[in-house]
Amino acid sequence: MSETARPLVVIVSGPNLDLLGEREPEIYGTETLADHVERASVSAARLGLALEHVQSNHEGDLIEAIHAARGRAAAIVVNAGALTHTSWSLHDALAAFDGIVVELHLSNPAGREPFRHTSVVAPVADGLVAGFGGLGYELAIEAVRRMLDGGRAAPSANRAAGDKD
Mind listing the pLDDT tens digit for each residue in 117-139?
678 999 999 999 998 999 999 99
Q: Is 36 a catalytic residue?
A: no
Catalytic residue chosen out of the listed positions 58, 105, 117, 137 = 105
**pLDDT by residue (tens digit) across 8-46?**
999 999 999 998 888 877 777 778 999 999 999 999 999
Catalytic residue chosen out of the listed positions 28, 36, 53, 91 = 28
User: What local confidence, expressed as pLDDT, does residue 70 receive?
Assistant: 97
Rounded Cα–Cα distance for residues 112 and 130 (Å): 12
Buried b (16+ CB within 10 A) or exposed e, 98-131: ebbbbbbbbbebeeeeeebeebbbbbbbbbbbbe
Helix and strand totals (H; E) in the chain: 6, 5
Rounded Cα–Cα distance for residues 22 and 160 (Å): 40
Rounded Cα–Cα distance for residues 160 and 157 (Å): 5
Beta-carbon count within 10 A of 7 CB: 17
Residue 67: pLDDT band by 50, 70, 90 thresholds? very high
State pTM to two decimals.
0.85
**pLDDT by residue (tens digit) across 82-107?**
999 889 999 999 999 999 999 999 87
Instruction: Catalogue all structural domains in the chain, each as residue range(s) with its CATH number.
Output: 3-163 (3.40.50.9100)
Q: Is 53 a catalytic residue?
A: no
